[in-house]
């Protein structure tokens, strides 16, 4: 199971083990990359000299502060430079799913914040080893089927174009949070479970490219590639910053079971280990971060929100994963980490234990992206029905 898989390490919980005990757990699953939703100093210190690469994050609530170059400089100095080179921080995610909050003020702050954080890295000669990006919900897509017709929401095209231009100039990746689970949850009668779980199935063929897709995640990724190409960017590096499947849910959350979570995540890790790209980009690395390392018992929302973890707080797998895990001997008693983890004692700076509201509910903006898939399923039914009718008349 040793792969180049990445893992999201969220900490909205009061029963998680201390970071020192998380290091061997991450290594036990072969993960070489970790994404934080903050810049927690306890975690960054614990992983010093571990060789694990980190994406640290700056919460949505601090984007307006980052419009001030001096504050961006102070944040980078305190939360990134201070841990290099011992801790391999390779990327800063500025905000999470900002554009799908439909908050104009927040969206307007995104690019200036990214630019100032990058300028701070340049001033410290760190821009060659640390990149700057932001994570988007797949709901930024207005059309996702067929993948070749992928297109961004028209009201977001201008902002996305500016962000992608920043990526091209600085060499940073375009991050997408994609959850096929939500498509199944929204319409389990129409969305084939095997198709979203990477299980054997007939799949679908893009009628424009004739490319065959046997799982929804790859189709979503290629829809993003197509959307980028439609605005003039064909060679942007796309990474999946979040994807996963809950092992438990409320009564109306069909599909949220340990067996489905096991199939999704184990099949996903197997695909990543094969180093295969998507049908449209077969030679591109997948660069996927699984959500999440632990179940987080303080996350709000439906039960599924608290049950995405590959592991329980004691270090045992939430379901059979193919590796045993590592005992963490219960919790550290630390307060739940809820944000950017800065220790800079200023009125604007994120304090140790603050969090990005963009991370609190991963389902908040996912509904919009499902309509494309429902439409696609309906189209397939119409096509199949027409074919059957034609044959019956022969």
Cα(47)–Cα(22) distance, integer angstroms: 9
Whether the per-residue pLDDT at 371 is higher than 60: the answer is: no
Among 8, 9, 14, 10, which residue's Cα sits nearest to residue 336? 14
Contact, 186 vs 180, CB < 8 A? no
Higher-confidence position of 386 and 237: 237
CB 234 within 8 A of CB 294: no
Paired tokens of 323:
């590796």
Confidence of residue 383 (pLDDT cuts 50, 70, 90): very low
pLDDT band at 326 (very low <50, low <70, confident <90, very high): low
pTM value is 0.86
| Per-residue model confidence (pLDDT) at position 55 | 98
Residue from 314, 285, 272 nearest 30 by CA: 272
Whole-number Å distance between alpha carbons of 373 and 196 = 11
Distance CA 200, CA 263 (A): 11
Domains of the chain: 5-323+360-391 (3.20.20.80)
Mean pLDDT within 98-110? 96
Contact 81, 89 (CB under 8 A): no
Share of residues in the chain with pLDDT > 90 (%): 76
Helix (H, G, I), strand (E, B), or coil: what is residue 143?
A: strand
CA distance 6 to 297: 22
d(CA 188, CA 369): 15
Q: What pLDDT, in 10s, does the model give residues 202-251?
A: 999 999 999 999 999 999 999 999 999 999 999 999 999 999 999 999 99
What residues are annotated to the active site? 97, 242
322 token code pair: 């193919």
pLDDT band at 322 (very low <50, low <70, confident <90, very high): confident
At 324, the pLDDT band (50, 70, 90 cuts) reads: low
How many other C-beta atoms lie within 10 A of the C-beta of residue 380?
14
């Amino acid at each position: 199971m040793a792969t180049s898989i990445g893992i999201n390490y969220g900490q909205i919980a009061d029963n998680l083990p201390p970071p020192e005990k998380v290091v061997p757990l991450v290594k036990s699953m072969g993960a070489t990359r970790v994404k934080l939703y903050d810049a927690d100093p306890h975690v960054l210190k614990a992983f010093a000299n571990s060789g694990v690469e980190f994406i640290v994050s700056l919460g949505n609530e601090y984007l307006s502060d980052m419009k001030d170059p001096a504050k961006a400089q102070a944040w980078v100095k305190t939360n990134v430079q201070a841990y290099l080179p011992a801790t391999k921080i390779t990327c800063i995610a500025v905000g999470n799913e900002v554009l799908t909050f439909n908050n104009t003020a927040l969206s307007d702050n995104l690019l200036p914040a990214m630019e100032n954080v990058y300028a701070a890295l340049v001033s410290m000669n760190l821009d060659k080893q640390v990149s700057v990006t932001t994570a988007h919900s797949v709901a930024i897509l207005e059309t996702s089927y067929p993948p070749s017709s992928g297109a961004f929401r028209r009201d977001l095209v201008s902002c996305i174009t500016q962000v992608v231009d920043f990526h091209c100039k600085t060499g940073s990746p375009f991050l997408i949070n994609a959850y096929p689970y939500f498509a199944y949850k929204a319409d389990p009668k129409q969305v084939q479970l095997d198709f979203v779980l990477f299980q054997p199935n007939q799949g679908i063929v893009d009628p424009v490219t004739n490319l065959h897709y046997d799982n929804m995640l790859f189709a979503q990724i290629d829809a993003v590639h197509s959307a980028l190409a439609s605005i003039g960017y064909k060679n942007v590096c796309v990474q999946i910053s979040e994807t996963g499947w809950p092992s438990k849910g409320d009564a109306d959350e069909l599909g949220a079971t340990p067996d489905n979570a096991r199939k999704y995540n184990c099949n996903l890790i197997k695909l990543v280990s094969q180093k295969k790209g998507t049908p449209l980009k077969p030679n591109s690395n997948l660069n996927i971060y699984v959500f999440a390392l632990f179940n987080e018992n303080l996350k709000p929302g439906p039960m599924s929100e608290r049950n995405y973890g590959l592991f329980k707080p004691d270090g045992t797998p939430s379901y059979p994963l193919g590796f045993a895990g590592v005992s963490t001997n219960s919790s550290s008693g630390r307060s739940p980490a809820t944000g950017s983890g800065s220790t800079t004692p200023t009125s604007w700076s994120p304090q140790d234990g603050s969090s990005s509201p963009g991370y609190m509910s991963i389902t908040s903006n996912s509904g919009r992206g499902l309509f494309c898939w429902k439409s696609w399923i309906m189209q397939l039914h119409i096509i199949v029905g027409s074919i059957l009718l034609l044959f019956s008349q022969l």
